[in-house]
Amino acid sequence: MKRYTFALVTTLVALIASGSVMADADLFCPDMSQAKQLLECTNEAEIKRMFKSTCGFERDPGAKNPDKCDSYAEFKRRKYTALWESADGGFMGYLTCMKSSEDIKKLNPASAVVSQRNGLFRLTCNYSKGVSMTMRTRKDCRLSTTTSLLVDSRAQCDGNADNCKFSCK
């Protein structure tokens, strides 16, 4: 009986150890050509209704750094979006509907950011034209170019996702 217990405990320890090794993963910024749009873009009438219910009126149409309610144009720029996700469903983001899906699918990663708050890691891939995709995870993640888990880190991708590799444990 003791031999079976010992074998069981040894097997469980080996499985747990191999599971933690297998849980390590390298993640890359998603290939936007494989990303898919999950929600339809809101129509103009709905954007106007949202602006009226949220803001009521334009507060400062000529503001240099406008808030979303300063002008209808700024509100539309921020809210005329649709939810997109990466091919594997790990990264998501609200992307502008002012660009065609063909234009969005041509984007290459420009930079990557890892930040941590309260044990939750946020991996953000930034593309040109203000487009970004984000993944949130409880795994300890960092950019392959950094060693510290305590500070937010950034990397330039230069259009190549391999330059912005995330290592997660």
Residue 77 lies inside a defined structural domain of this protein = no
- The answer to whether position 64 is within a domain reads no
44 lies in a domain?
Answer: no
Residue 96 neighbours by CB distance under 10 Å: 18
Residue 19's pLDDT is 37
- The structure's pTM equals 0.75
User: pLDDT tens digits, residue range 88-114?
Assistant: 999 999 999 999 999 999 998 999 999
> Considering the domain boundaries, does residue 52 fall inside one?
no
Smallest CA-to-CA distance from 90 within 28, 153, 18 is with 28
CB-based contacts of 164, cutoff 8 Å, min separation 6: 28, 29, 109, 111, 112, 125, 143, 155, 156, 157
For the chain, the domain total comes to 1
Q: Does residue 30 lie in a domain region?
A: yes
Q: In terms of residue numbers, what domain contains 140? A: 26-38+98-169
* Tens-digit pLDDT profile for residues 32-66: 999 999 999 989 999 999 999 999 888 888 888 88
- pLDDT grade, residue 81 (50/70/90)? very high
60 vs 11, higher pLDDT? 60
In the 3-class helix/strand/coil scheme, how is 89-105 assigned residue by residue? CCCEEEEECCCCHHHHH
Q: Which residues contact 42 (CB under 8 A, 6 or more apart)?
A: 50, 79, 80, 81, 82, 97
Whether residue 164 is contained in a domain is answered as yes
For residue 43, give both structure tokens: 């129509």
Residue 133 domain flag = yes
- For residue 151, is pLDDT > 70? no
